[in-house]
Every structure is written in C-alpha cells, then in structure tokens.
C-alpha cells in the first residue's frame, strides 16, 4: 500500500518531522547497525513505527525484499521494495564516494526491470548516513 505524505495534518506533519530528525541525528538508531541486514531491520522498524504513529497502519507494513544479481536475474543481495521505491542497503557509513557510481548503476539496473515498465520508480542508495 502507498501512503499519502502530501496531505498530512499538522499533527502528522510534526510526527513526520520528528521521524526525520531522529533518523538524521547523531543519535540515530541506524548507527547501531553492524551489517546491511541490521540496517534494513532497524530502518524498517523505524518506518513501521512512523506509519503507526501517523495512523496509516495498526500493526506493521509488509515490506518486500527482492533478490537480484547485477544483470537483473533473481539472486544476490536483498533490497527493500516498497510501492514504487527500491532501496539498496549498504552497511552503516560504509558507502564511499568511489563506490557510489558502481552502486548507482546497480540500482538503475534494478529499476530497468521489465516488471516496472510504465511505473515511475525511485531508487535510493542507503547506508544510514
């Protein structure tokens, strides 16, 4: 399910802004991640908490995880797929500037998958920083 963040009430907007501050702060819970899998788990829990606090869900949101090789075939690393958004996780604070171009190409290849034809997709590289 896709949730509308464009028409938040003032109360919901405050909750959303607090979430962004928490995730971007020096004390972010994301910095406790020791691996890509930890980062995924922590981030998805924070997203679920946000969605509950906004009143969008009552329990948890079922996120999908797809496995790809860089050539687009099934297998390889786990990615986060939610609606029209794919997140490629990297271990906390380990995405170096020299790796960004390679990882960007990998994410772009995921977005070119034929199952997304005609859908506006978004891709993010995310190491929690």
pTM given for the model: 0.64
Asked if residue 57 has pLDDT above 50, the reply is yes
| C-alpha–C-alpha distance, residues 25 and 37, integer Å | 21
pLDDT recorded at residue 128: 73
Read off the pLDDT of residues 37-51 as tens digits, 9 standing for 90 and up.
888 888 888 888 998
Query: Above pLDDT 70, what percent of the chain?
Result: 81
The answer to whether 28 and 22 are in contact (CB under 8 A) is yes
| C-alpha–C-alpha distance, residues 119 and 40, integer Å | 24
pLDDT recorded at residue 76: 45
């Amino acid at each position: 399910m896709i949730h509308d963040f464009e028409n938040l009430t003032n109360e919901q907007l405050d909750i959303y802004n607090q979430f962004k501050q928490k995730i971007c702060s020096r004390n972010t819970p994301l910095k406790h991640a020791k691996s890509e899998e930890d980062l995924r788990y922590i981030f998805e829990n924070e997203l679920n908490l946000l969605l509950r606090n906004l009143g969008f869900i009552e329990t948890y949101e079922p996120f999908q995880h797809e496995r790809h090789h860089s050539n687009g075939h099934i297998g390889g690393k786990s990615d986060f797929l939610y609606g029209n958004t794919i997140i490629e996780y990297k271990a906390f604070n380990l995405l170096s500037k020299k790796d960004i171009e390679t990882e960007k190409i990998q994410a772009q290849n995921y977005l070119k998958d034929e199952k997304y034809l005609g859908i506006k997709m978004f891709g993010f590289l995310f190491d929690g920083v």
